[in-house]
């Protein structure tokens, strides 16, 4: 299941990041978004969502959320 399918307000554990872009992988890792880390969907809208990782909140688009497997 990808993060794009996640339910608002529920905490998940990241299982994998599926992307071919090394820069994107490095960027997500710098945010604390990597396998084994917990992630919570704070709000979810049609084209973007706000997630909480390590007590910080980030706004990501649905395309990026689709690359994060939970």
Q: What is the mean pLDDT, run by run of 10 residues, along the chain of 70 residues?
A: 93 93 89 92 93 93 92
Residue 18, Cβ density class (10 Å: 0-12 exposed, 13-18 middle, ≥19 buried): exposed
Taking alpha carbons only, the member of 10, 4, 5, 13 closest to residue 42 is 10
CA–CA separation, 21 and 37 (whole Å): 20
The answer to whether 14 and 63 have CB atoms below 8 angstroms apart is no
pLDDT of residue 55: 87
Residue for token pair 């994998």: 16
């Amino acid at each position: 299941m990808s993060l794009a399918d996640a339910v608002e307000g529920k905490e998940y554990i990241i299982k994998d990041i599926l992307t071919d872009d090394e820069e994107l992988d490095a960027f997500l890792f710098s945010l604390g978004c990597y396998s084994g880390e917990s992630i919570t969907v704070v709000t979810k809208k049609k084209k973007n969502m706000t997630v909480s990782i390590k007590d910080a909140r980030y706004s990501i688009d649905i395309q990026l959320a689709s690359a994060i497997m939970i």
